[in-house]
Amino acid sequence: MRREAALSAAVIAVIFTAPGRLPAVAQGAAAPSAGVAPIAPALLAVKVVEENGVPGVPQALTEKPGDPQAGAKVAVDRRLGNCLGCHQISALGNEQFHGEVGPSLDGAATRWTVPQLRMIVVDPKKIFSDETVMPSFYRVGGPGRVRPEFQGKPILTAQQVEDLVAFLAAQK
């Protein structure tokens, strides 16, 4: 757990993909640890831009545009986004068991811009508050006692984030 503690702040992991290069994080690159360069070369901070006082991530995390259908799978899959764990989404009406912890995501794209949706998926604490129950899906570091197989990895890959953002952007 000292590994996380060694990070002065939560590192927001982003891979600026060279064409054809797999995201290093998704392949399981080790978390930065004390005594080693704090940020591995493939991990760079996401560029957060505030617009009208609301933070957003305007730049896509991958060159390949997000695929809303793949994003729907990310929203459903319990091992990936599991958005249905907490939210209701009418577009996924064929799926059983929609959670009630967060608001319905119907019309999400009418309430948030695409950069804001991307910010919410990457690190919702930046938009809501540190108190939000919602996990940060594209961040490493910060939380303690991460199970060894998940250490240094964000919940979603860059492509999965983009696919999910594309799906959310279609919820009008």
Partner 1 sequence: MWCGGAIAQDALEHPDWQGKGFAPNVPDHPLREIISGLAFRTHETKAMQSDDFNNPGFLAVEEGAALWSKVDGAAGKSCASCHQEAVQSMKGVRASMPKWDEKQKKPVNLEQRINICRSENMKAEPWKFGSPELTAMTTYVGHQSRGTPVSVRTDGPMKPWFDRGRQLFYDRVGQLDMSCANCHEKNYGKFLRADFVSQGQTNGFPTYRLQTQRLVPLHERFQGCMFDVRADPYKPLSDEFLALELYIAWRGLGLPVETPAVRN
Query: Within a 13 Å sphere around the CA of 127, how many CA atoms are in the beta-carbon half?
Result: 25
- Provide the 3-class DSSP secondary structure of residue 155: coil
Is 99 an interacting residue with respect to partner 1 (CB under 8 A)? Answer: yes
CA angle 23, 25, 26 (to 5 degrees): 70
Q: Does 143 bind partner 1 (CB under 8 A)?
A: yes
Q: Is 136 in the site for partner 1 (CB under 8 A)?
A: yes
Q: Which stretch binds partner 1 (CB under 8 A): 17-25, 56-64, 66-74, 132-140?
A: 132-140
Interaction pattern, residues 145-164, with partner 1; x per rule: CB under 8 A: xxxx-x--x-x---------
* Contact track, partner 1, 39-78, x by CB under 8 A: ---------------------------------------x
First to last CA, the chain: 41
Say how far apart CA 70 and CA 162 lie, in whole Å. 9
When asked if residue 107 is in the footprint of partner 1 (CB under 8 A), the reply is no
Helix axes 114-122, 158-169, angle to 10 degrees: 140
Site residues (vs partner 1, CB under 8 A): 78, 82, 84-86, 88, 90, 93-101, 104, 133, 135-136, 142-148, 150, 153, 155
